Structure 1
C-alpha cells in the first residue's frame, strides 16, 4: 500500500499545476495559409476571427481558428485546432488542420488520413446537416443529411474534430452571418405535374409582373443629383422603363409552360447537378435590360437583389441561354430573359413570399461620373401545392450518432459482457471447475483480442484517463469520452469490475493485449520453451515499476501535455491492437519484444510495466469483498496455489493479493478440486476430517 500512498500524494501535488493555453496565431502565421488570390484582412475580434479579402481587396468571407471558440479536448486532452475559411454565404472554402495531439494520428496511422478527412468539407455549407458516419436521415434535395466518411480506427478523434468545426463555425455564423439559415426549406415536389397555360399562370399568380414607367422612375430621382440625368425619362414619361416578369421555375409545371424545349432540357440537366438550387426566371421587355454592360455570365447580377423575411438572398446567373415557349406572348419572347439561381440551403424557402429588387441606375458627370440608384421592388409567392415541406430530420447528438454507427458492435459486446459478468459473479466455482474451463477461457480471450481489440478498437489505454485528468485540471469538457461508446462500454465494465473483483476483470478478461500475452505463453508451452520465474526479491520491486511509470505519465500530462502521446508509447497497445502492427519498425519491434518476452516471462508487461494496470490496481481499492475462498490450510502447510499462480498474486500465508490478481481462476479450480487441493486430498484419506473452507467475504 506504500506505493499507492506515494502515487496518490504525487497526483495531489501535481494537481496544483495548470497548463497554459496557447495564444491565437499571429497574422504572420495565418497569412501564408490563405490560398491565393484570397488574402488575409483585418482581425474582427479577439477570438481569432479575421476578414477574408478577394483579389480586389474587398471582403470575401471569414478566417478563424477553432481552438478559441470550440476548445473541445481530444483523446490526448488537448484541443484540435483547425483553420476554417467561410465565404459570406456560409460555404466552406478551406479547412486545414493546424495542430492536434491525437495519439492515433501523431504516431499511429500518420496524419495523412486526418488531413484527407477535412477535404470533405469544401463546398459544403454550414447550413448542411453534416454527420460523420452512415446514413440515418431521410429527406429530399436541399434537406438531406450530408455524410462525411470517417477514418477507420480513429472514429472518435474524427468526431471530435467534426464537432469542433461545427461549434466554431456556428459561433461565427451567429455573429457575422445572420442571414444564414440552418432550417430545412421546402423544395419542389417532382410528383406534381399539371398542364398549365399562360393564362393559368396569370390567373393563379404563378408569374409576377412589375411595370414601371419613366415618369415613376423620374419621381423617385426628384430632388437628387441625378434628377436631370435621364432625358428619355422626361421626353417619354408614359413609356415603360421596366416591364419585369418573374416566376419560380422549380415547379416542373411552371417551367414547362414558360420555357421552350431546348431551354427546358438544359434546365433539367442543370437541376440534376445543382440539386439544392432554385431557378428564378426574370424577363424585361422595356429599356432597363436587367444587367449592366459589365455583367459577366455565371456571376451575381449587380442590379438585381432578393430578400425574404428581411434577410438577403444570394442570386447568381445559371448560365443558361434562355428561350421562352410559344405559349408566352411575343413581347416577352423578344425581351431580355435570364434564369437566376439561389441556394435553398442558404435560407431561401420557395414556398413563402419573397421580394426581388431591381436598381434603376443613373450617372452624373462625364469624366468621373457619380452613380446613383433607386430600388424597384416586386413581391411574389408561388402556391404551396408545388412544394414539399420536409420532415424535420434533425441531427442526432454526437453521442447518439456514435452509438448508431456502432450499434451492431455494441450489441455483440454487450451480449458478451452479459454472459461473462454473471458467470464470474454467480457461477465462479462451477465455471472454474468445468472440465472445458481452459477452452472456454481461451475462447473468451480470442474474442477479446479479435472482436473487442482488432475489430472493435476497444483496447483501453492510459491515454484516456490522462486526457480526463487534463480536462479536470483545466476545467475543460469531458465530452470526448462520449465519442467512443464502444470503449466507454468496456470502461464501464472495468469500473464495475473494480467493485466486484478489483483489477482482475479487465486485466484478466477484457484486455486484448493482455490476452495476446497469454496466448504467447500458451504457444511457448506447446514449444516446450523454458519458463523464467522471477525471484521474489526481484519480483516485488519490479511490480512497483508500473506505479512509477504511471506517476511519470501524470507529470507529463500536467507539465508537458504536448508530449503525452510519445510518453504513452510505453504502452504497445496502439501498435499491436489499434494499428495491427502497421507502424514504423521501432514501434513494431517494441511491441514484438514484449510478446517474445512473454514466451518466457508470463505476462511480464502486465505485471511490471503497464501504467494502465497500475491505474486498474488503484481502482481495485474500491473492491468491497474477498471473492476467492480460502482454507485455514492455505499457506500453511499447503503452498500449491501459490506455486501454481503465474502472476505471483498469492502470498506465502495463502492470502490473495488482489492488486496483482488477474482473475484467471486457476486457484479457484485447485481449491474446489478434490484431486488437486492438498487439504481435500488429505481429508479424503481414512479417519480424516474434511477441511473447513473460509468463504470469501
Structure 2
C-alpha cells in the first residue's frame, strides 16, 4: 500500500518552476511601474514606481506556491502586489490545465485573473456566487468559470499562497524559511486522553443558541429553523489536531492512514498536516466543495494574515482508542505549507465559517466566524538556524542610493551657501553662466537621473494620510526626493518659494532654458497685460483646490486630475507617453520660448502651495532702498516674474529668487540711485 501512495504522490507532484530571467520579467511590467532588484532567490523582485521609489513586489506563483493543478502541474501566474498588500495586477504566464488548453480556451482564465486588481490579501477572497455579497457578510466574491471549478480554485489558491508568503516575509519581517519541521526522533507516549489533557487536541463547541445570537438582528436570523427549534442542540463540535509531529500522528491515526501520511511526508517535506473531526451538523465544507482544493468554510490566520489551507484528499482512519461518537463523525485532513510562512510552533488560529442563505432566488449569503486557537509546543519540532530578519525596504532604498544622496547633499549645501551670500553671487561677472549651470544640474541630475521632481501629489498624500490616521513611512522609500523635500521646506522658511521654484524644480529649469533659447532665436518676448497677468495668478490656487477636493471626495479620480502637472510626462517618463500628455508638457515648454515660465507663474498647483512661503519666510532677504519704486522703477521693469510692486516692495509669494534685482541693486553701473549718488560725488568734486 505504501509504495502505491509514494508512486501516486511522485507522479502527481508538481514540477517546480524556475523564475523568469530579468529581461523576460521586465518586459511584462507596464508603465508607470518598472522592475527593481531581486529580493530573494525564489523570484521575488521589488516593483518601482515612476519616480524610482519602491511601490511593491513582483513574483510568480510557480516558484513560491507550486500547487498541483488538475494536470498535476502548477499554474504559473505573475502577481504585482503593492506595499499595503493590494493586487496591482495578476497575469497568466503558463499552465497545463486541460479545460483551458483544449476546451474553453485561455480567455475565461485571463478574465478571472483580472478580478484581483484593487483587492487586498487582507480581504476574505473566495471563488463563488457573487449574489452572496449581501450586507452582513465580509466575503469578497470572485466570479468563477463554469466547467472549470477545480482549475479556477487552484489558480486562486496559488495566488493567495504566494502573495501571503511574500507579505509575511517582506511586510512583517517573518521570514518564509527555513521553517521548523517536526522532529521524527522525538518520542512521547500519548493517547487520546493524554492529548486532550495536554492541550494537544483543541476543541471548539458551538451550540445552536450561540449561532442564533451571532445572527440576531440580521436578515439571516430566521434562516436556520433547526437552530431556532433546538437551542440546546449542537451546531459545531470540532476537534483539531496537528498531526505533523509523528508522536501525535501515531496517537490518533489508524495504521493504514499513518502509512499514507508517512509516505506523503517523505516527499512533501514542507507540508504540515491537520486532522479535523467534526461531530456536529456544520460538516466542515459546503456541497460546492471540490476535493484537493481549499475548504470553502474553513480558514486559518497567523500574524494577522491568512494561511493557505488545502485539502490533502485522504480518508482519515482513526486509532481505536478515540471515542466511538467521533469514529463516525466528519473527518478531514488539511495541508499547510511551511514554506509559505506558516510556523506550527507559534500561535495561530483556525477559523470556521457558519453560513446562512436568505431568499429563494439569488439568495444572499451571510457568515459568522468562530475561531479556535492552535499551536504546538517547541519540543515536537526541529528549529534550523534562522537568518537575520531582512532590512526594512526604506533602509535598502537608502543604501542603494547612497552615492546619489551624498552628491545631492553636497550640491544642496553648496547651493544654500551661495544663496546665503546672494550679494556676492549676484555681483559675479559670470552670474548668468553660473545660474544656468546650476539649472542644468537640476534638470540632469535632480530630475532625469535622480527623479527628484517634487509634485503636489506628495503633500496631498501626506495630508490625507494624517487625516485618516495612516503612517508616513512611505516617504522613506524614495530618499532622494525626500532630501529634496527637506531642502525645499528649509528654503521655504528662509526665502519662501524661491529656493525650489527658482533653483530646484527640473521642469521650471527646462522652461527657463527654453526662454533663453527664444531670445537666441530672436523671438519676441510676450507678457500678458498686467490686469490679465494678475488674474491668471488665481489659476494655480483654483487648480490646488480642485486637486484637494478630488483627493478627499473622489480619490479614485485623483491620479487623473493630478495630470494637470506635466512633471510626470516631462521628467519621470522623459516624454515617453501618449501624445495628449506629451502635447500638454511640451506645449508649456514651447510657450516659455516667448512667455517666461508661464506655467510656473500661473497654473502650477505646487507653486500655488509654495506661495505660502511669502507669508512664512523668516526674513526679508532681498535688499531695498528708499528710492526703490519711487522714483526708481528699473528692478520692477526688469523683473520677468512681475514680483515687484509699483512702490518697490517685493511680492515674496511670487518671487522665484532669480537674483536679477539683487544684481541691479548692487551694481553701480545699473542701479539708478547708485548712479545718481556717484554723479553727485563727481559734481561735488
Q: TM-score, normalised by structure 1?
A: 0.51
Q: Which whole-Å CA distance do the structure 1 matches of 2:552 and 2:270 have between them? A: 56
Residues 185, 558 of structure 1: alpha-carbon distance in 2 compared, 3 angstrom cutoff: closer
Which residue does 2:419 correspond to in 1?
424
1:554 aligns with 2:555: no
1:589 aligned residue (561, 583, 587): 583
1:164 aligns with 2:158: no
- Secondary structure at the aligned position of 2:584 is classed as helix
Tell me by how many angstroms 1:647 deviates: 0.6
1:489 aligns with 2:483: yes
Which residue does 2:448 correspond to in 1?
454
Which residue does 2:363 correspond to in 1?
none
- Secondary structure at the aligned position of 2:574 is classed as coil
Which residue does 1:399 correspond to in 2?
394
Residues 686, 483 of structure 1: alpha-carbon distance in 2 compared, 3 angstrom cutoff: same
Tell me by how many angstroms 1:303 deviates: 13
- Secondary structure at the aligned position of 1:615 is classed as helix
- Secondary structure at the aligned position of 2:612 is classed as helix
1:153 aligned residue (25, 50, 53): 50
Which residue does 2:252 correspond to in 1?
none
Q: Which whole-Å CA distance do the structure 1 matches of 2:393 and 2:638 have between them? A: 48
CA contact under 8 A between 1:500 and 1:623: conserved in structure 2?
yes
Which residue does 1:476 correspond to in 2?
470
- Secondary structure at the aligned position of 2:448 is classed as helix
Which residue does 1:646 correspond to in 2?
640
- Secondary structure at the aligned position of 1:637 is classed as coil
Residues 572, 676 of structure 1: alpha-carbon distance in 2 compared, 3 angstrom cutoff: same
Deviations 1:493-542 (A, max 9, x none): 11111211010000000101000000000111111111002221211111
1:531 aligned residue (520, 525, 532): 525
2:622 aligned residue (615, 622, 628): 628
Tell me by how many angstroms 1:620 deviates: 3.5
Q: Which whole-Å CA distance do the structure 1 matches of 2:338 and 2:440 have between them? A: 53
Matches within 5 A, 1:255-274: none
CA contact under 8 A between 1:445 and 1:512: conserved in structure 2?
yes
Matches within 5 A, 1:118-197: 133=37, 148-151=45-48, 153-156=50-53, 158-159=55-56, 162-165=82-85, 182=175, 185=178
- Secondary structure at the aligned position of 2:596 is classed as coil
CA contact under 8 A between 1:508 and 1:663: conserved in structure 2?
yes
Q: Which whole-Å CA distance do the structure 1 matches of 2:571 and 2:308 have between them? A: 52
Deviations 1:397-424 (A, max 9, x none): 2322221222222111111101101221
Residues 638, 348 of structure 1: alpha-carbon distance in 2 compared, 3 angstrom cutoff: closer
Matches within 5 A, 1:364-375: none
Unaligned runs of 5+ in 2: 1-15, 18-26, 58-80, 88-119, 125-159, 195-254, 276-301, 313-336, 346-378
Q: Which whole-Å CA distance do the structure 2 matches of 1:156 and 1:407 have between them? A: 14
Tell me by how many angstroms 1:157 deviates: 5.5
CA contact under 8 A between 1:305 and 1:313: conserved in structure 2?
no
Q: Which whole-Å CA distance do the structure 2 matches of 1:660 and 1:110 have between them? A: 45
Q: TM-score, normalised by structure 2?
A: 0.52
Query: How many residues are paired up?
Result: 417
Which residue does 2:404 correspond to in 1?
409
Which residue does 1:112 correspond to in 2?
30
Tell me by how many angstroms 1:158 deviates: 1.2
CA contact under 8 A between 2:31 and 2:50: conserved in structure 1?
no
Residues 450, 187 of structure 1: alpha-carbon distance in 2 compared, 3 angstrom cutoff: farther
Deviations 1:553-611 (A, max 9, x none): 22222221211111111111111111110001011011111111100100000111111
Which residue does 2:99 correspond to in 1?
none
Q: Which whole-Å CA distance do the structure 1 matches of 2:272 and 2:176 have between them? A: 25
Tell me by how many angstroms 1:344 deviates: 6.8
CA contact under 8 A between 1:295 and 1:301: conserved in structure 2?
no
Unaligned runs of 5+ in 1: 1-90, 93-108, 118-131, 136-142, 189-205, 221-286, 318-341, 351-378, 691-697
Tell me by how many angstroms 1:552 deviates: 1.8
Q: Which has the higher contact order (CA 8 A, sep 6+)?
A: 1
Q: Which whole-Å CA distance do the structure 1 matches of 2:405 and 2:496 have between them? A: 24
CA contact under 8 A between 1:159 and 1:483: conserved in structure 2?
no
Q: Which whole-Å CA distance do the structure 2 matches of 1:303 and 1:423 have between them? A: 65
Q: Which whole-Å CA distance do the structure 2 matches of 1:401 and 1:668 have between them? A: 43
Q: Which whole-Å CA distance do the structure 2 matches of 1:293 and 1:466 have between them? A: 56
Residues 420, 472 of structure 1: alpha-carbon distance in 2 compared, 3 angstrom cutoff: same
Matches within 5 A, 1:144-543: 148-151=45-48, 153-156=50-53, 158-159=55-56, 162-165=82-85, 182=175, 185=178, 291-292=259-260, 300=268, 389=385, 392-425=387-420, 427-543=421-537
Deviations 1:2-29 (A, max 9, x none): xxxxxxxxxxxxxxxxxxxxxxxxxxxx
